Structure 1
Amino acid sequence: MFAVMGCLAITVAYAMRICLSLAITQMVTTAESSSNSTTDGDTCSGTLSASSNSASSETYDWDEYTQGIILSSFYWGYIVSQVPGGIMADKFGGKYTLSAGILSSTTFTLLTPLVVNKFDSTGLIVLRILMGFGEGATFPALNVLIAEWAPPQERSKIGTMVMTGTQIGTILGTALSGILLEYSPIGWPLVFYVIGSISGFWLLNWILFFHSNPNVHPYISEAEKKYIQDKISENTRKHTQPIPWRHIATSFPVYALLVGQFGHDWGFFTMMTDLPKYMSAVLKFSISSNGLLNALPYAVMWIVSNISSIFADWLIKHDVMSITKVRKAFTTLGFVVPAIFLIAASFAGCNRVLVVVLFVIGISLMGPVYPGLVVNAVDLSPNYSGTLMAMMTAAGALAGILGPYVVGVLTPNQTVTEWRMVFWIAFIVLLVTNVGILFLQRGDVQYWNDLENNGQGSKDFEHRVKSSGCDNSQKDKATT
């Protein structure tokens, strides 16, 4: 039940986050002719099909730079609340920390049409900042819950199932938005009303029927409770001491998490946030086709993510590869192959079928990143997994801030040539950050996960060893 409800939590969070990416194509007054200043081959033939109902709602004169700021503003608030959200989740548990974040996002999503109509782009930017701030605790809270519910041998599978709510949410947010924009009697505001209501329905069920850990869950059987407790007994979350910031700050595997999350999210957020604009303004797809085609890569990505997670757990369970090697191999696969296909798509020009095929392959093959990188924080420290996930998502949020801004600056005319530079940047970021992962990533529990019990890092530990008369070999045994 947890894996399903956790997956749906990210689904509604991402649907609320992503729906603006498609809605903004109908919220903005279409400029007739940025293409007049471009050379042959820079623009694709065809007529951009607007929604037949667009006249029933207001449109706004926002240039590409302003749209870039609007699309990145969510991450301004998101990056600020990551670490506080992770600390709250580690201290108070995941259920209510997650509930508070989804409640704020739901409220701000439902308020979006009112705020935009009253305060224009400034109001939307402020609203998206607040929405991002509230949603910052989502991933840290879920990471804490994964540490409570997922046995180590099933962590890739359960963690991936939860985290791949990002793909389902992207599918829901883009496909449903495209359909609603095409047939809405009130225009683009219906997108925010419908998706916000879906999120509210999930939140009600989450509060009523789910609990933070197996020990307090009234609906779980004793047999299942005992199974979970026995399987995770070695690495289960203990009463946490003060967060060991000094040890975390000097841990190379933690830097692998941060570097990897920044690289992955640069590629992923560039596609998730700005691909609808590329399909609309450059390839001239209709609004309903845009929504469905943008959903397609994430549908395939969801399948690839879950299949790869099952395979990753099989490799670990049968001792075919160590956890560290599995994490590195799957992360590399999810970085390098998509980078190649994304840059290939940029050279496919206006061949719409080929572009879509290459995007589908490239984005879907980001799936192995979930059993490779995303679940790795729980490997390193079950006790502080919320804090580590907060740091990861903060690094990813930085990519979310910079990516749409860079797209807005580099694509004022929305041409193939301008967008090719966007894809080259994503290609370079993915490859460079993967090099850092290969050198730094680990899959074993770090000593600072439980300093109190293993003695590492405490100031009096050396004194206790010396006064006990232990030699170096005894000291090594004591630290283990």
Structure 2
Amino acid sequence: MPTPAGGQATAGGVSNHSNSHVAPTHTTRKGFCSVRHGQAIILQLSNFVIFTHHMGMSIVIPAMVKHSVPPGQSNVSTESPSPDFQDYWNETLKDSKAVAPVYDWNPEIQGIILSSAYYGSLLAPVPSGYVAGIWGAKYVVGAGLFISSIMSLLIPLAADAGVTQLVIVLVVQGIAKVIVLTGQYSIWAKWAPPAERSQLNGIATSGTLLGTCIIILTGGEICHTIGWPNVFYIFGGIGCACCLLWFSFIFDDPMNHPFISTAEKEYIMCSLAQQDYSPSKSLPIKAMLKSLPLWSIIVFHFCYYWGLSITTAYIPTYINSQLQMNLRDSGILSTLPFVAGFICMILEGVLADFLLSRKILRLLTIRKLFTAIGAINSSIFLGSLHWVRSSHSITIAFLVLSASSNSFCVSGCLINILDIAPRYASFLRGITQMSAFTAGSISPTVTGVLIHLDSEFGWRNNFLLLAAINISGLVFYLFFAQADVQDWAEEQTSTHL
């Protein structure tokens, strides 16, 4: 059963009697030159790699086809691209012919190719999270990272072989990417002291925004200069190099790490002394289904990723169509929200842990406050875009402020699983990923329909709907969220998966 709503959350989301275990090693907490922060940086690089793989095909496909439609326009918007937009892609395509093959893929085939990476997204998160929780993230997540990198290297060869072979490679890569994004949470259940969870997770998660930013900035230029296959070779090669770091320095438990100091090891183990994170093949399914704190996290994940999927997919299109900017300018401006989000995600994680370690705010208050800041401010900025579209600078500023605000949620609801059920963090991460992927598969379609039905007010209606969904998820989370380890996450049960 869930912990009562009136329960007090301590610095780690564990019972108050655990404070005595943390105090003796408090001084080892200071500083960022630690093995646990090294783990976070390697995870950041891994997430960077995965998101360059995730975005790569969307960036590259205009240079792969003979008669391409600019990214973000096919099947999502009925608006015609500006002349500058179309001219740039025609120039890119013409120059790319000399250095890379092109294919006669119609828009329907392009849609199948772009969708193929998502085919396993709704099925893979839960099994991969469960397996990572039992076997550990070192080999499960490492295998996913390696497979995704190898598939990236094989994409040009698969494209030459045919559409079917390319789709198979992308499906396998999509499953591998899900394994990495889901299974990594089991690392923080054993490595992150409760007072440092936000900053460690913020560092690691920020790699997703950094990867998105870099692939947007460099992908088109690589296609333009040395050919589209090199996008997959370069980032696939970076992924393989990252695998060497992963298998050399990532360990499931600080007790088994060969380079960790005794002081740091004792600090981590003492901080987690009252936390039951031992692997278990048993899952308290019935208790999970009845847990409102868990449902509040799942619901907010759906609402959060509804908006994130739209902004990630449509920012270039919105800037180009509403601000009438050419592709070069809109491509550069489109990266600014990701850069801002990347920086703020790290800083906000440090801020959350500062407030917690200094006992300025309780853990539950921090989770709710940061979630509210992210959801409310991003909703306001995105919901107001329609009324400031006449000003380019204000529109870009609102997009940047929205992304900066939205990153607060990473230290709010999005890490809350580690507070209420660290033992099942990886499995539950799979559940929330399913909720997120469901939102991501629906929201772009809804956006396209709204723009198609009303060319004048379609964007306004879309952002207002986004804000309404965001606020609804926030309200549900604020009512039912908890930061204590739940009873069902502490006890062995006989209910099996």
Structure-1-length-normalised TM-score: 0.84
Tell me: CA distance 1:212–1:359, structure 2 relative to 1, closer, same or farther (3 Å). Answer: same
Is 16-25 or 408-417 further displaced after alignment?
408-417
User: 1:13 aligned to 45, 50, 62, which one?
Assistant: 50
The 5-angstrom pairing of residues 174-323 of structure 1 reads: 174-181=216-223, 183-186=224-227, 188-240=228-280, 242-280=282-320, 283=323, 285-323=325-363
Instruction: Rate the CA distance shift 1:279–1:127 in 2: closer, same or farther, 3 A.
Output: farther
CA distance in 1, matches of 2:144, 2:468: 33
Equivalence map 1:62-461=2 (5 Å): 62-63=106-107, 70-120=113-163, 125-181=167-223, 183-186=224-227, 188-240=228-280, 242-280=282-320, 283=323, 285-349=325-389, 351-411=391-451, 417-452=457-492
- Specify the SS of the correspondent of 2:283: coil
What's the CA shift for 1:97?
A: 0.9
Work out which of the residue numbers 84, 88, 105 in structure 2 matches 1:50. Answer: 88
Q: CA deviation at 1:432?
A: 1.7
User: 2-side partners of 1:381 and 1:189: how far apart?
Assistant: 43
Instruction: State the shift of 1:410 in Å.
Output: 4.6
Distance 1:414 1:70, change over 3 A: farther
Equivalent-residue separation in structure 1 for 2:431 and 2:68 (angstroms): 39
CA distance in 2, matches of 1:345, 1:220: 49
SS of 1:128's partner is: helix
The question of whether the paired residues in 2 share the 8 Å contact of 1:278 and 1:414 is answered with: no
What amino acid does structure 1 have at the position aligned with 2:417? A
| Contact kept? 1:160, 1:375, Cα under 8 Å | no
Query: Unaligned stretches of 5+ in structure 2?
Result: 1-37, 74-78
Task: Tell me the alpha carbon deviations over residues 62-111 of structure 1, each in whole angstroms, 9 at most, x when there is no partner.
Answer: 54x77666545433312211110111111001111111111222222223
Q: Decide whether the 8 Å contact of 2:138 with 2:252 is kept in 1.
A: yes
- Whichever residue aligns with residue 215 of structure 1, its letter is M
Q: Secondary structure, in 3 states, of the residue corresponding to 1:80? A: coil
Go from structure 1 to structure 2 and tell me whether the alpha carbon gap of 1:297 and 1:54 turns closer, same or farther (over 3 Å shift). same
Alpha-carbon distance in 1 for matches of 2:314, 2:110? 10
Deviates further, 409-418 or 147-156: 409-418
Structure 1 residues 388 and 335, CA, compared in 2 at 3 Å: closer, same or farther? same
Pick which of 209-218 and 386-395 moved more: 209-218
SS at match of 1:389: helix
Q: Supply the distance in 1 between the matched residues of 2:243 and 2:329 (Cα, whole angstroms).
A: 30
Percent of aligned pairs with the same residue?
Answer: 27
Q: Which runs of 5+ in 1 are unaligned?
A: 36-41, 460-480
134-143 or 79-88, which moves further after superposition?
Answer: 134-143
Whole-angstrom CA distance in 2 between matches of 1:92 and 1:446: 23
- What amino acid is the match of 2:151? F
SS at match of 1:175: helix
Alignment length, in residue pairs? 443
**CA 1:16–1:31 in 2, change beyond 3 Å: closer, same or farther?**
closer
State how far apart, in whole Å, the 2-side matches of 1:374 and 1:401 are. 19
Residue identity opposite 2:443 in structure 1: G
Root-mean-square deviation (CA, aligned residues, Å) is 2.9
* Deviation, structure 1 residue 239: 4.3
| In structure 1, distance between residues paired with 2:238 and 2:456 | 36
Q: Tell me: CA distance 1:300–1:31, structure 2 relative to 1, closer, same or farther (3 Å).
A: closer
Contact residue 178 and residue 291 of structure 1 kept, 8 A? no
What TM-score results when the alignment is normalised by the length of structure 2? 0.81
Offset, 1:214: 0.9
Structure 1 stretch 170-179 or stretch 419-428: which is displaced more? 419-428
The residue aligned with 1:23 is 60
Q: 1:404 to 1:284 in 2, by over 3 A?
A: same
Q: Residues of 2 paired with 1:380 and 1:304: CA distance? A: 25
